[in-house]
């Protein structure tokens, strides 16, 4: 699945995260700023990569500003941002790519 244009999902409220995606240069380029990076940085990265893998995305620049979001929130925000980058506004790609 290809990222077509920059898109965003999420907020900077406590316990949420804001995800920005844009077309990549042939790989997954992930940057993270997080209030809980010391404790959960690796876990957040794992969830982001797993979610992208489910969506079939491997060419993306994705950056996240995290305010202590739980894994389920992170997953939802990544899915929403990727959906929006493909103009998929109504039936977002919850849970993975189109069959």
Partner 1 sequence: MINAVGREIPEEILKITGKEPFKGNHYFDGYEYKKDGPSTRCVINSEGSKLVENIHEVLVKCGIQDGMTLGFHHHFRDGDYVVNMVMEEIHNMGIKDITICASSLGKAHDKLVEFIEDGTITNIQSSGVRGKIGRAISEGKLKGLAVMRSHGGRVRAIETGEVRIDIAFIGSPTCDDYGNCRGIGGKSDCGVLSYSMVDADYADKVVAITDCLVPFPNFPAHISMTKVDYVVVVDEIGNPDKIATGAAKPTTDMRKLMMADYCTQFVVNTPYFKDGFSYQTGVGGASIASTISLSKIMKERNIRMKFGVGGLTKPMCDLLENNQVDALLDTQDFDLNAVESVINPRHFRISAGEYADPFNKGAVVNKLDFVILAALEVDVNFNCNVVVGSDGIITGAQGGHPDTAAGAKCTIVIAPLLQGRIPAICTDVTTVTTPGESIDVVITDYGIAVNPRRQDLIDAMKNVDLPFKTIEELRDIAYSIVGEPERVQFDDKVVGIIEGRDGTVMDVVRKIKKFEFSGE
Residues that bind partner 1 (CB under 8 A): 14-15, 35-43, 45, 67-71
Residue number with CB closer to partner 1 (6 or 53) = 53
Helix axes 37-55, 71-85, angle to 10 degrees: 40
Q: How far is the CB of 51 from partner 1 (least distance, A)?
A: 15
Residue number with CB closer to partner 1 (7 or 16) = 16
Residue number with CB closer to partner 1 (70 or 97) = 70
Q: How far is the CB of 91 from partner 1 (least distance, A)?
A: 29
Q: How far is the CB of 83 from partner 1 (least distance, A)?
A: 25
Q: How far is the CB of 25 from partner 1 (least distance, A)?
A: 18
Residue number with CB closer to partner 1 (24 or 68) = 68
Write 74-79 long-range contacts (CB < 8 A, 24+). 74/17, 74/19, 74/44, 74/47, 74/48, 75/47, 75/51, 77/9, 77/10, 77/16, 77/17, 77/18, 77/19, 78/9, 78/19, 78/21, 78/47, 78/48, 78/51, 78/52, 79/51, 79/55
């Amino acid at each position: 699945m290809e990222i077509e244009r920059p898109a965003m999902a999420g907020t900077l409220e406590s316990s949420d995260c804001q995800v920005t995606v844009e077309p990549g240069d042939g790989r997954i380029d992930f940057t993270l700023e997080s209030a809980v990076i010391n404790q959960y940085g690796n876990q957040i990265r794992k969830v982001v990569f797993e979610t992208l893998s489910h969506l079939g995305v491997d060419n993306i620049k994705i950056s996240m500003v995290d305010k202590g979001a739980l894994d389920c929130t992170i997953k939802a925000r990544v899915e929403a941002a990727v959906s929006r980058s493909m103009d998929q506004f109504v039936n977002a790609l919850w849970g993975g790519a189109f069959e």
